[in-house]
Each structure stands twice: as C-alpha cells, then as structure tokens.
C-alpha cells in the first residue's frame, strides 16, 4: 500500500496517535497519509517479531494478566505483573 497506492487523502475512522502520543486528525493529506502508513507498518513489524518470539519460546504461564503473552506485553511497555 505504501509504495503503490500513494493516497492523496486518507480518512481515519477515529483519531489515531503517533508513537509519541500526538494525534493524527481524521482526514490526512498525502504527506500525513504516508507518515501514518509508514508508522503503521513499523508497528506491525514489531508486533509480528514479538509474537513470533513468543510462539518460538512456547507458552509460559505466569501470574501476569497478560499470561501466557507477558513477554510480548513487556516488549510493548505494558505492566506485565
């Protein structure tokens, strides 16, 4: 999508936030759309890598509310305990 569609406008269902916490608007121009798509793909890559690592290690039951995925939650800054 990033490399082929190059949207001139992107309409979001609700205001999403950047990694630093600042919100996007619900209607993005071409530059903002490219930024949002790039950030989305980066996050998807982090989620994929974390999930893969968790699956390779096998389920690990803990007291965490995120069990058996506490390791993934820790990678994303969630309180795992």
Q: What is the pLDDT along the chain (81 residues), one digit of tens a residue?
A: 667 878 888 898 887 888 788 888 889 999 999 998 998 899 899 888 988 888 888 878 888 888 888 888 888 776 544
Is 2 among the domain residues? no
pLDDT of residue 2: 67
How crowded is residue 70: how many other Cβ atoms within 10 Å of its Cβ?
20
Is 3 among the domain residues? no
Alpha-carbon distance of 11 to 28, in angstroms, equals 6
| Total domains present in the chain | 1
Domain carrying residue 30: 9-75
- Euclidean distance between the first and final Cα of the chain, in Å? 38
Alpha-carbon distance of 47 to 51, in angstroms, equals 6
68 preceded by a cis bond (ω within 30 of 0) = yes
pLDDT of residue 78: 66
Is 13 among the domain residues? yes
User: What is the reported pTM?
Assistant: 0.69
pLDDT of residue 7: 87
DSSP conformational letter for 77: T
């Amino acid at each position: 999508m990033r490399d082929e569609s190059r949207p001139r406008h992107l309409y979001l269902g609700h205001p999403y936030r950047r990694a630093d916490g600042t919100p996007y608007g619900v209607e993005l121009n071409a530059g903002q759309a490219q930024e949002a798509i790039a950030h989305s793909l980066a996050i998807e890559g982090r989620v994929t890598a974390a999930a893969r690592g968790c699956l390779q290690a096998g389920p690990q039951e803990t007291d965490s509310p995120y069990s058996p995925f506490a390791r993934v939650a820790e990678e994303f800054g969630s309180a795992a305990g």
